[in-house]
Amino acid sequence: MTDLSTLEGFHSRWVEVFNAHDLEAHAMLYKEDAMLFGSVPELIVGRAAIKAYFGGRGPHVHVKHYPFPRVVMISDGVAATAAHVDFADGDTLMPYRVTWMLVKRDGTWKIAQHHGSPRG
């Protein structure tokens, strides 16, 4: 398993489970009370709702390109990230801006807040 104690390991694991459509593993990368603004207008709150949101993405949606994001350390256990991410659904490219607010608890990073918006 990927080392979730580092931001690099966390980032790799997020891409890995997203592309595997492993909804259980993906949901566990978020805090229980995490917030997500994704490709729908509603604010998604909580791990169960985030799992359902990602379950609603098409079975062929995957990360095509997600370079390691720009990171600003807020404190030892809090990090903000920002990156351009290219998702794809078959031949359709979906370029996004993605930000995360991550917190480290018990040696493991988790997403507390996730925002993704199309870029065009």
Query: From the first residue on, what is the mean pLDDT of each consecutive set of 10 residues in the chain (120 residues)?
Result: 85 97 97 94 96 92 97 97 96 96 96 94
User: What is the reported pLDDT for 1?
Assistant: 57
Q: Per the domain annotation, does 91 fall within a domain?
A: yes
The pLDDT score that the predictor gives to residue 39 is: 84
In a domain, 64, yes or no: yes
60, 36 contact by CB (below 8 A): no
Q: What's the domain range around 69?
A: 7-118
**pLDDT value at position 92?**
94
Question: What CATH number did the domain enclosing 23 receive?
Answer: 3.10.450.50
Task: Tell which residue, 37, 96, 91, 40, has the closest CA to residue 65.
Answer: 96
pTM to 2 decimals? 0.94
The closest of 31, 115, 33 to 69, measured between CA atoms, is 115
Instruction: Please tell me the predicted confidence (pLDDT) of residue 58.
Output: 84
